[in-house]
Amino acid sequence: MNLLVVTLWHLKHYHSERYIASELNLSQSAVVNILHSCVYPELISVPADMTNRRTPHGHERNHKLIVDSTFIAIPEPYDSEQRKAYYHAKSSTNYALKVQAACDFHHRIVHVSECYRGSVHDITILRESGLLEHVNDYVQIIADKAYVGEEYVVTPRKKPHGRELINEDKNFNRDINSAKAAIENINQHLKTYAILGGIYRGAIDDFHKATKIVQVVSALCNLNLNKHLIRR
């Protein structure tokens, strides 16, 4: 059977490596590596023309990218230090790997970070991801309040202490939240692949392997974008 077909089968239905090995004499790592080298470089990249005035943008012309993190649930670690490091309150198991994705206003994934332990802060992942190398006065990122602190990252405006937001700020936040819905929907779409939507069975400290899996699934989501448009 074609290796690419086997990989798609594994990512979508997440049969165990032992099952695939017994049926087809293949390992997950081998097929994921092949698909990663085939599709990820072709389907995931930050566009080179982001500063172009014709590039799709948000409410403001310089709002070009949208970023958010998502998690992959993992079993509860045995070690107390690992439980602290991998803790993630939103995970069904309370423990997770965390990864960050960015999309453009075509709603295509353009960047995927490395995987991290679940407790790592979103702004840390952004700063280490390399995505900030692509931003400037003309290319800015929309994100939620977890990303406050970077010059070219646009987040919702906070309500002043003891006062309500003025209408201008309310409208601004409405536009930001509307744009953020795109990456939130993409993160949900990633989890339609059981390998990301279920409980991850791989080694939780093998971040390189987990990262490749997320990047492959992200590339497949882009590949399917024209067939199944993400809800705006």
Which pair of tokens denotes residue 63?
């709002």
**Position 230 confidence tier, pLDDT thresholds 50, 70, 90:** very low
Tokens linked to 192: 């339609």
Backbone CA torsion sign across 5, 8, 181, 123: negative
What does the alpha-carbon distance between residue 102 and residue 104 come to, in Å, rounded to a whole number?
7
The CB density around residue 3, as the number of other CB atoms within 10 Å, is: 15
Mean pLDDT throughout 191-218? Answer: 92
* Single pTM value for the model: 0.85
Are 6 and 26 contacting, i.e. CB atoms less than 8 angstroms apart?
A: yes
Q: What pLDDT was estimated at residue 9?
A: 62
Q: Which of 54, 51, 14, 7 has its CA nearest to residue 33?
A: 7
Alpha carbons 77 and 86: distance in angstroms, whole number:
8
Q: What is the mean pLDDT of the chain?
A: 86
Length of the chain: 232
Report how far residue 126's alpha carbon sits from residue 102's, in angstroms, rounded to the nearest whole number.
10
Nearest CA among 52, 96, 46 for reference residue 73: 96
What percentage of the chain has pLDDT greater than the value 90? Answer: 59
Instruction: Supply 131's token pair.
Output: 């995505």
For residue 165 the two structure tokens come to 């937001």
pLDDT of residue 232: 47
Q: Enter the tokens of residue 115.
A: 């995987």
Structure tokens belonging to residue 195: 């390998």
Cross-strand partners of 153: 141
| Greater pLDDT, 50 or 39 | 50
